[in-house]
Amino acid sequence: MKKTIVLALGGNALGDGLAEQMVAVKITARAIVDLVEQGHKVVLTHGNGPQVGMINRAFEAAAKTEAHTPMLPMSVCVALSQGYIGYDLQNALREELHLRGLATPVATIITQVEVDKNDPAFLSPTKPIGSFFTHEEARVMMANGHQMMEDAGRGWRRVVASPKPVDIIEKETVKAMLTAGQLVITVGGGGIPVIREGNHLRGANAVIDKDWASAKLAEMINADMLIILTAVEKVAINYGKPGEQWLDNLSVSDAERFIQQGHFAKGSMLPKVEAAVEFAASRPGRKTLITVLEKAKEGIEGKTGTVISQ
């Protein structure tokens, strides 16, 4: 059965740095076009950790030169990363589509994602970004309104909040492009974080988890399946311990129980499973697949991966 799929690429699918990214997107494109070739409607989302870090560090370095270039807000850094990652992805996808004789148009949407200004995450920012600073430099930064945190004895870094997404601003554009038979790249890096103030959308000093943003997008465009790509073929409980068990199928209730029991690491699998559950629980019939990029096609066919559903 042909499906509408939101496919969330992990950072490892984009390489590390510009040269690696140019190579990585070609490999990524082949796996994604496999799905298009099967007749699925695909919306592609992606991370931006290394890329947005590079942008932050570049402007921090520029701020220390005689030009005194101002450091950019996090929202602008995310927008920049969406543009150049999307540029590489859409060109690699377009080339692969043409090689297979497919006329599917592909384009990137610079996407804003609304967050709640009262989200508790804003009270305790925890996501480190950019370069390391000395204590004295950090004091100056804090005096200029930046939030700083000491990072494991290596120096001080800026920190930002990671609030939950509440709306995808460009969702109607995504829907229109899907209806027109196009392959859409959107919600890059979790989306540009914005706070609604009447008719104005104000950029927020935050980062949004791309798996949570992808789950929200999948829900709002009524996708059939969310695919969250990771470094392992399946989800496991007791990972790396006695009793390790790789899981083929999980009910929402079982997944929630395993989350409560602490089976998934905070910095890696936990947000993926939480986002997977969020989408699968949003309406009967919706499913989330967690697997590696190379196995996405087989996962849709039920041959591998971990599927979470009601």
Cα angle: 118, vertex 123, 124; to 5 degrees: 140
Amino acid at residue number 174: V
12 is catalytic: yes
CB 119 within 8 A of CB 161: yes
Counted residue by residue, the chain has a size of 310
Among candidate residues 210, 234, 287, 297, the one labeled active-site is 210
Our answer to whether residue 222 is catalytic in this structure is: no
> Among 3, 12, 155, 164, which one carries the catalytic annotation?
12
Place of tokens 């995504």: 174
Query: Would you tell me how many other CB atoms lie within 10 Å of the CB of residue 100?
Result: 12
Q: Is 130 a catalytic residue?
A: no
3, 26, 91, 127: the catalytic one is 127
Residue 258 tokens, joined: 């395993």
Strand pairing of 225-229 and 4-9? Answer: parallel
CA-closest candidate to residue 219, choices 302, 281, 289: 281
Catalytic annotation, pick one of 3, 11, 26, 175: 11
Mark whether 41 is an active-site residue. Answer: no
Question: Are 188 and 86 spatial neighbours (Cβ–Cβ below 8 Å)?
Answer: yes
Rounded CA-CA distance 96/103 in Å is 10
Question: Among all chains, which residue has been given the structure tokens 């989800």?
Answer: 235
List the catalytic residue out of 171, 272, 287, 297: 272
78 alpha carbon, distance to own chain's centre? 11
Confirm whether 272 is a catalytic residue.
Answer: yes
Q: Which residues are catalytic?
A: 11-12, 127, 210, 272
